[in-house]
A and B are shown apart, each in its own frame.
Chain A
C-alpha cells in the first residue's frame, strides 16, 4: 500500500487517510506557500483526530479551536492552568514544579492532567492550533503563554532571551518556554493568534520579525534585536525588530501582540 508523507510533520500515513495520524494535518490539501516563502500552518479539519502514546487528541472549532484529549492510562499532559476548558471530574490535576517561573513574570501555574480520562484545552483568542510532534532529541522555543499543552514525555523549562537589548527592547519579554525531547517522541500543541505561518531558515539566513509576531523556533535559530534607523516619535528610541538567524524553523502569528517601540 502506498504511504502518504505528511508535509507538516513528515510522518508516514497509510494510503487513503485524509488527515495525519500524528499531527492531524489534512493530507489531501495542497501545501500553501506564499511568494515570500512563508508556508501556512495546516488548517486542521474540524474534528480531526490524531494520536500520541495511548492517547488521542481531537481538534474542534475553527475560530478558537479546542483540543480535546482522551488520555490513556499512564499518559499525562501539562499546560498553563487557566487553559483547561473542561474535564472529567475524575481526572486528577497536579502542579508541575517549575522553579522560578513566577520570578520570570509568568503568572501562570503549569499543571498536569493524568489519564485515564478526558480533558479539553483552549486559549481565549481567535486563532489557529499548531500541532508540533517532536521527535527524540529536539528543542523548540515558544513565545511565552503560547503553548497550549504538551505531553509529559517533553521536558519543560524556560530560557532567558539572550542579549540585554533583546530583553529591554525586543518586546518579547524576558523568557521563552523551552520544550525538549530526550529518548522518546512527544506532542506539543501551540495556539497562534490569527493565522500561523512557518518557514525554514538556511544556515546563516536572516529574517526580521515584528517581535510580537514571533511564535516558535527551533532552538538552533538565534534570536537577537535589530534596531532600525527609524524614529517613531520625538522622544522614542527607535524601532526594534527581532532578527532571526538560521538554521532552523521559525513560526509567526499574524495577529500579534504589538509592543510598541517607544515604551
Chain B
C-alpha cells in the first residue's frame, strides 16, 4: 500500500471582502467590518423597493481608526466606547458625553460661525477629546449607532443633532439648508377652520357640494418652518480617511439613488446623504373636499434626487401642524385636486365621488350657452363647477343677470350614499337622511307652474318682483335658469326660455 500523503493545505490568506454598507474593502475573517462595524456574516436586507436596512452594529463590535478603537455596546440606545491612542483626537457634541476616564484630555473646539448657530437656538459646544484614555458617547433616543467611514474627498451632509463623533481629520462645517416655508399657525384638524354655515341637515347636505372652509382662521401668527433643519452639518475627509459616527432614531435605512431618480421623504426622517444628492422642498396638497374638509394645507416633503446615497430613520421628528403656507424656499408643488385620477375620487372625497359619477359634459354645455349669450350681447361671468354641480353666470349691460346651473342629481345622491361605507355602520342612518334631503333640495324647485314648449318637463316660478327661475329636467339632470332683471314677467320668461333652449340642446 502506497502511503500517498494528503495534499497540503493552502496557506491561509485573508479573504477579500467589500462591506456592502461602507463600501470599503476589509477582512472577511472577522465577524464585523473593521471600518464601520456592520456584521460580516449576515446577508443584506434590502426591501423590495430598494431600501437597504443598515444592520445594527453588533453588541461589542469594534471599529478601528488610526491606532484607536471604538466599541459599540448596547441595543436600544447604543453607546460608543472610544479607546484613544496617544495623541489621537475626536470631537463630539458636548451633550453626547456619557462618561470619560481621568486620563483623557477634554477641551472645547473653536468653531467658525458658531455664533450663527447659537443665534439659531442650538446649544452647540463642540468638545474635543485627546488620548490616551477612554470615553463613551451616546444619544438619548432609542435607535442605532451608524458609522460612516469617509475616504479622502468624500463629503456627507447630516441632519443637525444626529452627529455623535468624528475623528480629528474630518473637517466639519455647516450651512443653511435653505429649505423652509412660512405658514400661519395650525391647530386641530391641520389648521383648518370652518366658517359658520348654519345647522340642519339641509345645510349639511349643501356642504357636500359647496363647502366654504378657510385656512388659518383667527390664528394669524406666521411661523417659519425648517423641515430639514435650519442648518445641515457637512463632514468631509480631505487628506486621510476619517470616521464619522451618527445616531439614527429607530431603524435606519439607506438607498442609492441613480442619476435623476427621486424619492419623497418625511421631513423628520432624513438622517444623512451624500453631498451629490440634491434635496429640496416639495409640497403636496392632498385631494380634499366634502365633509368639513374643503381645504387642506399642503404637506411639506423633502424631495431628494440622485446620484448618491440617502439614509432615513423610521422614528422621525414629528412635523408641526400648520395653517396656510404663505411662501416658501424654492419648491416643487403637486396638487392632487388637479391630478386625481377619476377612479380614485370616490375613496376619500364625496365631492370627488360626485365628480367621478357625474355624466354631465359641461364643456359642450358651456360652449353652447356661451355662444348664445355672446350673440345676444351678454358677458360671461365666473363659472362655479363643484363636482356634479356646474354653474355659469351671464350679465347684460341692460341690467339682466342670468345664472344657469346643471345638477347631476343621480350622481350627487350616489356620492352621498357612498359615505355610508366611509363613515361606518354607525353613521349609515345619518347618511341616508342626508341623501334624502339632498334629493329633495337638488330637484326642481317646488311650487312652480308647468311650462310647455321646451320638449322636456319644465316649470316656471316667480321668486320676487325682479327674479324668477325656470327649471327643466333631462336625463336625470336638473337644469335651472335663474333670471334677475327689472322687466315684465313675460320678458323674463322669454329670456329664460331662450337660455334654457340653448342649454338643453347641448345637454346630453
Contact = CB atoms under 8 A, between A and B. Distances in A.
A18 B225 CA distance: 46
Interface in B343-399: 343-344, 347-350, 352
Contacts of A201: none
Interface in B312-369: 312-319, 321, 334, 336, 339-341, 343-344, 347-350, 352
B336 A93 contact: yes
B311 to A, nearest CB: 12
Contacts of A123: 315
Interface stretch (A3-11, A64-72, A230-238): A64-72
A240 B223 CA distance: 40
Contacts of A76: 344, 347
Contacts of B190: 81, 102, 107-109
B251 A100 contact: no
B296 A95 contact: yes
Given A92-B341, A93-B284, A65 B296 contact: no
A31 interface: no
Contacts of B30: none
A142 interface: no
Interface stretch (B44-52, B131-139, B156-164, B500-508): B44-52
A17 interface: no
B316 A124 contact: yes
A95 B424 contact: no
B302 to A, nearest CB: 9
Interface in A86-130: 86-89, 92-103, 105-109, 111-112, 114, 118, 120, 122-126
Contact of B49 (A70, A124, A125, A155): A70
A63 B341 CA distance: 37
A97 B291 contact: yes
A122 B303 contact: no
Contacts of A114: 344, 347
Contact of A89 (B189, B253, B263, B291): B263
- Which of A65, A76, A157 has the largest count of B CB atoms less than 10 A from its CB? A157
B457 interface: no
A61 B144 CA distance: 11
B112 interface: no
B348 A60 contact: no
Contacts of A49: 48
A82 interface: yes
A86 B303 CA distance: 10
Nearest to B317: A124
Interface in B152-173: none
A84 B284 CA distance: 13
B290 interface: yes
Contacts of A111: 286, 348
A61 B250 contact: yes
A178 interface: yes
A31 B250 CA distance: 26
A110 to B, nearest CB: 8
Given A58-B48, A156-B422, A97 B290 contact: yes
Interface residues on A, range: 35 or more
Contact of B144 (A63, A86, A94): A63
B151 to A, nearest CB: 28
Interface stretch (B31-39, B176-184, B195-203, B264-272): B264-272
- Which of B318, B348, B422 has the largest count of A CB atoms less than 10 A from its CB? B348
B188 interface: yes
A107 B422 contact: no
Interface in A14-28: none
Given A82-B318, A125-B315, A95 B292 contact: no
A238 B77 CA distance: 35
Classify the secondary structure of B's interface with A: mixed
B348 A63 contact: no
Nearest to B261: A89
Given A47-B45, A112-B347, A63 B266 contact: no
A202 interface: no
Contacts of B340: 92, 94
A107 B51 contact: no
B206 interface: no
Contacts of A109: 189-190, 286, 293, 296
A136 interface: no
Nearest to A114: B344
A97 B266 CA distance: 23
Contacts of B289: 95, 97
B336 A92 contact: yes
Contacts of B312: 85-86
Nearest to B267: A82
B497 interface: no
A144 interface: no
- Which of B286, B288, B427 has the largest count of A CB atoms less than 10 A from its CB? B286
Nearest to A125: B315
Interface in A146-178: 152, 155-157, 159, 178
Contacts of A54: none
B425 A155 contact: yes
A114 B290 CA distance: 18
B477 interface: no
Interface in A26-68: 46-47, 49, 56, 58, 60-66, 68
- Which of B76, B314, B344 has the largest count of A CB atoms less than 10 A from its CB? B314
B287 A95 contact: yes
Interface in B397-426: 419, 421-426
B49 A63 contact: no
Contact of A63 (B188, B315, B347): B315
B187 interface: yes
13 contacts: A63-B142, A64-B250, A70-B49, A81-B190, A81-B299, A93-B284, A97-B292, A98-B291, A103-B188, A106-B188, A107-B321, A126-B76, A126-B250
Given A63-B315, A98-B292, A120-B49, 19 more contacts: A56-B48, A63-B314, A64-B249, A68-B47, A68-B48, A85-B314, A89-B264, A93-B286, A95-B349, A97-B291, A97-B350, A99-B291, A100-B292, A102-B188, A102-B192, A109-B293, A112-B347, A124-B250, A155-B425
